[in-house]
Amino acid sequence: MDIALIGIGKIAVDQHVPSLKGSPDWELAATVSRSGTVEGVEAFTSFTEMLEARPEIRVVSLCLPPVPRFDYAAKALAAGRHVMLEKPPGATLAECIALEQMARDRGLSIYATWHSREADKVAPAKAWLADKTLRSLHVTWREDVRRWHPGQDWIFEAGGLGVFDPGINALSIVTEILPDPIHLKSATLSFPENRQAPIAADLAFHHPGGARVTCDFDFRQQGEQTWSMEARCEEGTLLLTNGGANMYIDGAEQGEHHSGLDGEYPRLYAKMAELVRKGGIDMDLRPLRHAADAFLLGRRTVVEPFDF
C-alpha cells in the first residue's frame, strides 16, 4: 500500500523511514515537510497539494508536533485517507475524540500509536503480571532533552508536553501491562522559569488493590539514559529496562537482550496495515488521559531557566 509521511524530522528519519523501507506492507510514496526530504521519494511542502496531486495514496502517517496535528488529521480524513498518528495522538483529549468520530463517520481507519508498547518485553511483562498481586510499581524515566530533541523549542511551548513527551511512553507501557485500571491522585510538575511546559514530574496513582504506583520523569538526565520500571509483587519482582526492551524476574534476565526501539516502529506499521485491511480503529487514549490529569491536578513548582 502507498503511504505518505508528513513531517520529516528526527523521529521520521531515524524510525519511520527505515521501518517503511523494510516493510512488506508499505511503499513510501510521498513526503510533506517544510525542509526535510527522503531520497527517491516525491516531496511536497504543502499537505493540501499532496492530497490533490496524489489521490491514489490512501494512507498518511503524521509525524508532526502535537499542536498542529489535528488540522492535518482532520484534512486527511475529510479527503478519505486513513490516518496514523505519532505519539501523542494530539494536543488535547477532545481533539483526539473528535478525530476518532470523524474516522468512524467516514468508515476510515485511525491509529493512535504508542511505540513503547511494542518494545520487546512489554507483552511478556503483561503476561507475567496478569495473575500477580501487585504491591508497588515505580517508573524512572530520565533522559537528556538536548540529545533527543536538540534545539526543538516547541517541546517546551504550551501543548508541547515537555517531559511528558518521553514520559507518556512510560505511561503507555504502564497502562498496557497492569491488569487493573489506575488513575492519578497527585503530581508535582517542575517548570523552568522561562518555559511553558514541565522539565520534570513526579506522579502518584490510585491502584484499586492498594498498590503504590509512582513515576519519576526528568528531562535533565546526563550520561546514561534511564527508562525503567520495577513492579514488586507478592510472588516476585519484575524489572523492565531500556524502555521495555529487557526484562528481569527476581534478577534473572528473561529472553534475549535488546537495545532500545528494536522492532518497535516496524510493529506499529504492521498493525496499521492490519487496521486498514480490516477497517479497524485503535484510539486508546489512556496514556494521554494520565498526562492531561497531571496538568489538571499537578502542583506547579518553578525551577531554573532552561536553554538548549
Q: What's the CATH code of the domain at 27?
A: 3.40.50.720
- Of 165, 181, 184, whose CA–CA distance to 293 is shortest? 184
Query: What are the residues whose beta carbons fall under 8 Å from the beta carbon of 105, sequence distance 6 or more?
Result: none
Cell readout for 226 is 534511564
Low-confidence stretches of the chain (pLDDT < 50) are none
Active-site pick, 75, 87, 185, 271: 87
Domain containing 20: what range?
A: 2-112
In whole numbers, what is the pLDDT of the chain averaged over residues?
97
Distance of CA 122 to the CA centre of its chain: 14
70 and 126 share a domain?
Answer: no
CATH number of the structural domain spanning residue 152: 3.30.360.10
Catalytic-residue membership of 87: yes
Residue 88 C-alpha cell reads as 501523542
State whether 238 and 181 are in the same domain: yes
For the chain, the farthest-separated pair of C-alpha atoms sits apart, in whole angstroms, at 60
The kind and range of the H/E element at 265 are helix 264-278
CB atoms within 10 A of CB 262: 15
Q: How far apart are CA 296 and CA 208, in angstroms?
A: 21
Which residue, 53, 28, 24, is CA-closest to 38? 28
Cell readout for 282 is 485503535
